[in-house]
Amino acid sequence: MAADRRAERLAALRALLEREALGGLLIQHLPNIRYLTGFTGSAALLLVRRSDPVLISDFRYAAQAPQEAGDLVRVEIDQHSPWQRLKRVLQNTPTDPLGFEGHIATVRDAERISAASTGRVTPAPELVERLRAVKAPEEVAAIREAAALAEAALAALLPSIRPGESELEIGARLELELRLRGSEWHPFPTIVASGPRAALPHARTSDRRVARGEWLLLDFGAQVGGYCADITRTVLVGAAADAQQRAVYETVRAAQTRAIQGIRAGQPAREADALARDVIAQHGFGEAFGHSLGHGLGLEVHEAPRVSPSFEEPLPAHAVVTIEPGIYLQGWGGVRLEDDVYLSPDGPVCLSGNQTELLELD
């Protein structure tokens, strides 16, 4: 049974509140609420102060919220509006200053928070996200399990792919295989992009039919215990690779291998990104790799830290990040390879299989 770390997470957040000179933090972001309390519903506010944390939700979660949160927090259910209940809570026990998630709150939310509070309110930095970037062993294990599930789904799919099938048909079978193997949901819309559409890094899966000899890019994920895996593979359909296809593919593969082997906890994010970017640039494709090397992975498919050429911050030990270099040539297609890597203090550990040999599907 996985360790219950919610109490120590709340204690760590309170220590951050102390350092930031905040009386409390109002949390709206549902992954942050889940991380701190275990609540998995779709509507809640969490007020964390130096004592007496309060989880506020609505009628739909009157039974679920106390069951999931247990005795860790005080649960309050409002029949009409959690915001009205928040106002009553803050009036009974003023919190000054009250921080709120400025990166999450809308203008309307900020107005509600100001109206509910009897003291000062201020946008707070991404405090919970800072904690979430560092993964406990059971979180790493859940991501590893999700990655294994995703790769098993892909292995079941690949032998069935034939020229003439649409991206939507292929994506539907992949998502079925994910669900059959126990994925709780899809962490993001599955990307299936064929031919010249593989040059679109975030293509929407379409009704285009894949032709013989074309690239097929598959970017997909799985979710286990709320934790996400994120994997990309690019394969050739119905023919052997030509010289240009093989050259581009092997360049991306070499860049990814160098980054997976060379990334380290404590390394500036910019330097980690350069491990792959330099390889692609040396082969003449520098302008064709326009996105960051990777991103953090956990309860969300995109979270801290970023592995980007514009970030100097050191990568934290025990983070999990994606390593996903790509080359995209408009009108021709693109290749991306993505795996999930744990930044152990002893060195990088690939949580996904990194089975990246060029596959030429019959």
> Where do the domains of the chain lie?
6-132, 137-361
Q: How confident is the model at residue 35 (pLDDT cuts 50, 70, 90)?
A: very high
The pairing of beta strand 294-296 with beta strand 303-307: antiparallel
How many helices and strands, by DSSP H and E, does the chain display?
10, 17
Quick: pLDDT tens for 315-346.
999 999 999 999 999 999 999 999 999 999 99
Provide the residue type at 329 as one letter: L
Q: Which of 74-83, 296-305, 335-344, 350-359 has the lowest mean pLDDT?
A: 74-83
Separation between Cα atoms, residue 151 and residue 148, nearest integer Å:
5
Helix (H) or strand (E) holding 229: strand 227-237
Q: What is the pTM of this model?
A: 0.96
* pLDDT for the residue numbered 1: 62
Q: Which of 48-52, 100-104, 143-147, 321-325 has the lowest mean pLDDT?
A: 48-52
Q: How confident is the model at residue 206 (pLDDT cuts 50, 70, 90)?
A: very high
Separation between Cα atoms, residue 358 and residue 360, nearest integer Å:
7
**Coil/strand/helix, residue 218:** strand
Largest distance between two CA atoms of the chain: 72
Structure tokens at 258: 């160098």
Using CB atoms within 10 A of its CB, is residue 115 exposed (0-12), middle (13-18) or buried (19+)?
exposed
Q: Which residue has the tokens 């956990």?
A: 298
Superfamily of domain covering 6-132 = Creatinase/prolidase N-terminal domain (3.40.350.10)
CATH number attached to the domain at 137-361: 3.90.230.10
Quick: pLDDT tens for 162-199.
999 999 999 999 999 999 999 999 999 999 999 999 99
